[in-house]
Amino acid sequence: MTIPTFILKNALRNKRRATLSVLSVAVSLFLLVLLLVALREITLPVEGAGAELRVAVRNKISIANLLPAKQLPIIEKIPGVEAVTPFTWFGGKYKGEQGMTFAQFALDPKKLRAVFTEAKMAPESYAAFEAERDACIIGKITADKYKLKLGDKITLESTVYPVTMEFKIVGIYAGTPDDRNMLFRQDYLDESSGLKGQVGMWWLKVKSAQDMPKVISAINNAFANTSAEVRAESERAFQLSFISMWGNIKLLVMLICSAVIFTLLLVSASTMSMAIRERFRELAILKAIGFRRRELFAFILAESFGLAAAGAVIGVGGAYLLFTYGNVAKMTNGMFPSFEVTSRIVGTGALVAAVLGIVASIMPSIAVAKMSVTDGLKTLD
């Protein structure tokens, strides 16, 4: 019998315990990867192809405060601005759902292609969107989820405006980082709500990356000391500031991850201690026939590390395959369009498994070091 075979047989001596140990590691590491991936998606939203040239302009006091529509001609005249559109959140509920699984925004249909260049849609859909008052376009993820098609009518009850509006789907777009939203006409919202002259935000595109700082500064200065001061920022900065309104999500997720790792460590250490305690007599015999302490430590470490590595392969590997090749949008009910399991996250999972294997072997190794051959031989199997 070789040493690797000896270690393997010891690890699998109690197959039920070994299986449960591996599965506990696998499930815990799968949960760890899931939390890290979700945290990454929340705190580092994917940027679209034209995001580096887009600027979001919102009310300086709060994103919930509306802006006067008369700001539009002032923004359009600022050097470096290529196109501007209102971008007003509607907050509609579809089919009486309790929550909103897709967002709806009102904008200028003629500026859609100029501002959101990555959205891909048939030319006739763009034309219909500009021509029909009640027209709307929806993302492919939402269309697939609700089995919607061109020509369908949808009714949304707004949680922001005192109005229920009916829309006709004239286009289904794809190609953006988040193909879930619905877009419709700002003038249709103005007519239906009776709040003409107000918009939620301004979304604009600058001519070049060099123009970005100048445009942002000019917009902020243009409305300084007015009744509707604004805060202009790049799309990326706006996304991150919007996420920060949710609170310290990162701290919460990291605390949960820490609790998962700590609990897993206790379970693994307890399992290894139990397994080694049952073999004190065998280890005493190995000591008696000439095996040194460091060799016995190596046996225990290899067994502990092997079980942790097997759990890592199943847990981390399973998470990678599921999130890479599975339909994440369907699994999360449209909350996340995709999950990217990066090499850093895979490395974190592997590192946790390695540390787990090492730490779980420390207490059993200490117990074996303190054990004398005589005491060990007195131990019953």
- Average pLDDT per consecutive 10 residues, the chain (381 residues; last block may be shorter): 62 73 89 88 63 89 90 94 94 76 90 89 93 94 89 91 93 85 94 87 92 94 92 84 66 84 82 70 65 71 83 92 82 71 91 88 73 58 52
Q: 51, 341, 325, 89: which is closest to 176 by C-alpha?
A: 51
Domain boundaries, the chain: 3-45+248-378, 66-227
Pair of tokens at residue 64: 């919930």
pLDDT value at residue 125: 94
At residue 326, the pLDDT reads: 83
Tokens of 211: 């123009």
pLDDT at 239: 76
Contacts of 326 (CB under 8 A, 6+ apart): none
Distance CA 106, CA 209 (A): 26
pLDDT value at position 141?
Answer: 86
Alpha-carbon Rg of the chain, whole angstroms?
Answer: 30
Nearest to 81 by CA among 55, 110, 59: 55
Contact yes or no for 87/103 (Cβ under 8 A): no
How many whole angstroms separate alpha carbon 151 and alpha carbon 136? 10
Residue 305 near residue 354 (C-beta atoms within 8 A): yes
pTM over 0.85: no
* Nearest by Cα to 275 from 354, 361, 358: 361
pLDDT of residue 79: 94
Strands (E) in 146-239, as ranges, are 153-158, 164-173, 182-185, 198-199, 202-206, 230-234
List alpha helices for the chain, DSSP H: 3-11, 15-43, 72-76, 112-115, 123-131, 140-146, 186-193, 212-222, 235-244, 249-277, 280-288, 293-325, 328-331, 343-360, 362-370, 373-378
